Amino acid sequence: MSEPGAPEDFASGAQPWDDLARSARPAENDDERQEDLRQLLTFEIDSTPYAVPVERVREIVRIRPITPVPRVPKDVRGVISLRGEIVEVIDLRMRLALPPTDPVRSTRIIVVHTENGKVAGILVDAVREVSRVSENSIRPSANSETGSVEALCVRGDEFVSLMDLDRVLEIHAGH
């Protein structure tokens, strides 16, 4: 059971979510630069960096027992209980057409806001950081196989894939 209201830290020795978000916030007198900056939460799947917009993230929790749900696509791992809320967890590996793996120490569930005002969980291999990137460094992604990646973002010497969360969460029930 987690402490109600307090998001858990998500990597050993890492700062809690709040602190991370705070550190990523631009300084107060930075107003004109804020407009072309985006805050992204980066995480890893199969050692590859991916990101989602920070404003879509509600909290990050450690892996916990997931109850499988029958009659749903395999991408939905099941449901978890979040302080009494029952939330579906989507396996992002399977969503990206990667083979599933067993959870490891760094496995996290990112709880994101859905379009309809609810929340959903996304299972990822590890959470990295919250970073500010300028709009200039974001390039629309032309050829995404699964349609889950909407843009690429250059960070130092690597590309971070910016996820299209609404596409990721577009799963239809069926047998």
Binding site for other proteins (CB under 8 A): 1, 4, 65, 67-72, 76, 79-81, 83-90, 114, 118-121, 169-173
Rounded to a whole number of angstroms, the minimum distance from the CB of residue 49 to other proteins is 24
Minimum distance of other proteins from residue 52's CB (angstroms): 15
Token pair, residue 17, equals 């979510």
Sequence-separated (6 or more) residues with CB below 8 Å from residue 19: none
Q: Which is nearer to other proteins, 4 or 156 (CB)?
A: 4
Closest to other proteins by CB, 52 or 89: 89
- The minimum distance between CB 82 and other proteins, in angstroms, equals 9
Alpha-carbon gap, residue 74 to 51, rounded angstroms: 23
* Cβ at position 174, least distance to other proteins in Å: 9
- Which residue, 54 or 169, has its beta carbon nearer to other proteins? 169
**Which one, 52 or 152, has the nearer CB to other proteins?**
52
